């Protein structure tokens, strides 16, 4: 059994640590501090912590004010709740290009128990469509720890997507991240699995099952959806078949981003693993919810089979 570590705890603790390094970092939250774990920061830097209550739109605008004054606001709520502030984000963060860091926690299906209101399956599609918005989906707790300082020091608006669940550990302490640069987790020659978030660990598992079928699959961790690492997609396309895997609707997310590059620059068979165009349901645990909505390891394996089959047909 792979070790699982809480990514939201990693986020909260790293943010508190980074607060000591960068005195311009301020944290704003809309009454979910103990959930998204900004309470670590609050304990350490109470004067730089602002709980504004249940007002997501106002919270984003207030963060914009901090950014105008040269500070680095981390704005925190559930990923799904940022939908309330989409116009604020478009106008005052993206268009006005203010240095605001939006942290959408409880993302994807990770808040399995609270149901589809709390599941966030379209956030990436919206954020990715905004000019100048960087969009980042870390794969495990280590990547979160590495990403928080990078996000704080990045010059411009960022949407950072954090899961509620304990995620399987993929990387070790030596892991390095650079915003906008994909990570080759494993090379393969028959097909490349491009994924992010919790689906990276599931792709790594799929590789073992595919090996049994003599399909040599590579894995790319595309932690940054925007700015997108086009060169790593073109490199992956050299295997002749691509599978994308994401904890998000297949409309507008990673699968769409990769399809946009493949379609324009290097068409190869592409299979997308993600949530079909549907709302989800409540479940008792996050893993069975992912499995139920088509993001099981077996779904990745099947998609890889289909992609490699299409590749052979094309030849």
Partner 1 sequence: MAYHSEKLINELNEKARQLRLDALKMIHERGQGHPGGSLSAAEIITALFFHHMRIEPSRSDWLERDRFILSKGHACAILYPALARRGYFPLEELSRWGHLGSFLQGHPDRLKTPGVEMTAGFLGHGLPIGAGLCLAARLKGLKYHTYILLGDGECQCGVLWEGAMTAAKYKLSNLTVIVDYNNVQLDGPVHEIMPLEPLVEKWKSFNFATLEIDGHNIGQVLDSLDMAKEIHSQPTVIIAHTTKGKGVSFMENKAEWHGLAPNDAQYAQAIAELKGKRRDD
Q: How far is the CB of 35 from partner 1 (least distance, A)?
A: 20
CB-wise, 71 or 251, nearer to partner 1? Answer: 71
Only one of the segments 46-54, 144-152, 177-185, 283-291 lies at the binding site for partner 1 (rule: CB under 8 A); that segment is: 46-54
Residue 26 CA neighbour count, 13 Å, CB half: 24
Angle (deg, nearest 10), helices 7-21 and 141-153: 30
Least separation in angstroms between residue 126's CB and partner 1 is: 17
Q: Which residue, 68 or 276, has its beta carbon nearer to partner 1? A: 68
Question: Of 253, 245, 259, which is closest to residue 300 (Cα–Cα)?
Answer: 245
Among 40, 302, 63, smallest CA distance to 291 is for: 302
Rounded-to-integer distance, Cα 222 and Cα 232, Å: 9
Q: How far apart are CA 243 and CA 183, in angstroms?
A: 16
Number of residues that bind partner 1 (CB under 8 A): 29
Do 146 and 178 touch, CB atoms closer than 8 A?
no
- Does residue number 22 form part of the binding site for partner 1 (CB under 8 A)? no
What is the distance between the alpha carbons of residues 265 and 311, in angstroms, rounded to a whole number? 17
Shortest separation between residue 134's beta carbon and partner 1, angstroms? 17
* CA atoms of 223 and 139, how far apart (whole Å): 7
Quote the least distance from Cβ 128 to partner 1, whole Å: 21
Token pair 């409540």 in the structure block, residue: 282
CB 168 within 8 A of CB 4: yes
Which has the closest alpha carbon to 235: 200, 197, 274, 183? 183
46 near partner 1, rule: CB under 8 A = no
Residue 102 engages partner 1 in binding (rule: CB under 8 A): no
Q: Under the criterion CB under 8 A, does residue 128 sit at the interface with partner 1? A: no
Site residues (CB under 8 A) for partner 1, limited to 54-93: 55, 57-59, 61-71, 73, 87-88, 91-92
Q: Of the two residues 93 and 124, which places its CB atom closer to partner 1 in the complex?
A: 93
C-alpha pair distances (Å), 90 with each of 97, 114, 147, 253: 9, 28, 23, 18
Choice between 62 and 129, CB closer to partner 1 = 62
Q: Dihedral sign for Cα 294, 117, 246, 230, please.
A: positive
Per CB under 8 A, does 118 bind partner 1? no
Query: With respect to partner 1, which residue has the nearer C-beta, 52 or 266?
Result: 52
CB nearer partner 1, residue 84 or residue 272: 84
DSSP letter string, 249-268: ESSSSHHHHHHHHHHHH---
Q: Is residue 131 part of the contact set for partner 1 (CB under 8 A)?
A: no
Nearer to partner 1, 19 or 286 (CB): 19
Q: Which stretch binds partner 1 (CB under 8 A): 3-11, 43-51, 170-178, 277-285?
A: 43-51
Please pick, from the candidates 86, 96, 230, 266, the single residue that binds partner 1 as defined by CB under 8 A: 96
Q: Which is nearer to partner 1, 86 or 266 (CB)?
A: 86
Chain residues binding partner 1 by CB under 8 A are 26, 47-48, 50, 52-53, 55, 57-59, 61-71, 73, 87-88, 91-92, 95-97
């Amino acid at each position: 059994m792979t070790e699982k570590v809480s990514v939201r705890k990693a986020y909260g603790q790293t943010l508190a640590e980074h607060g000591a390094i960068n005195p311009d970092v301020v944290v704003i939250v809309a009454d979910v501090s103990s959930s998204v774990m900004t309470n670590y920061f609050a304990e350490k830097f109470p004067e730089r912590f602002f709980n504004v209550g249940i007002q997501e739109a106002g919270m984003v605008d207030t963060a914009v004010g901090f950014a105008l004054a040269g500070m680095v606001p981390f704005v925190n709520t559930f990923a799904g709740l940022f939908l309330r502030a989409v116009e604020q984000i478009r106008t005052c963060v993206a268009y006005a290009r203010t240095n605001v860091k939006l942290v959408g926690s409880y993302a994807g299906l990770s808040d399995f128990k609270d149901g589809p209101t709390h599941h966030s399956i379209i956030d990436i599609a919206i954020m990715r469509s905004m000019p100048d918005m960087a969009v980042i989906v870390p794969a495990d707790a280590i990547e979160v720890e590495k990403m928080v300082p990078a996000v704080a020091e990045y010059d411009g608006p960022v949407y950072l997507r954090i899961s509620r669940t304990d995620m399987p550990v993929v990387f070790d302490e030596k892991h390095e991240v650079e915003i906008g640069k994909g990570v080759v987790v494993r090379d393969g020659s028959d097909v490349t699995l491009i994924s992010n978030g919790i689906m990276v660990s599931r792709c790594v598992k799929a590789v073992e099952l595919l090996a049994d079928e003599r399909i040599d699959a590579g894995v790319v961790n595309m932690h940054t959806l925007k700015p997108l690492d086009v060169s790593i997609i073109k490199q992956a396309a050299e295997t002749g078949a691509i599978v994308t895997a994401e904890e998000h609707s297949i409309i507008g997310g990673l699968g769409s981003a990769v399809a946009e590059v493949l379609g324009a620059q290097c068409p190869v068979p592409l299979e997308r693993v993600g949530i079909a165009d549907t709302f989800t349901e409540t479940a008792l645990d996050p893993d069975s919810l992912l499995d139920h909505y088509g993001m099981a390891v077996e779904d990745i394996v099947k998609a890889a089979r289909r992609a490699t089959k299409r590749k052979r047909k094309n030849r």
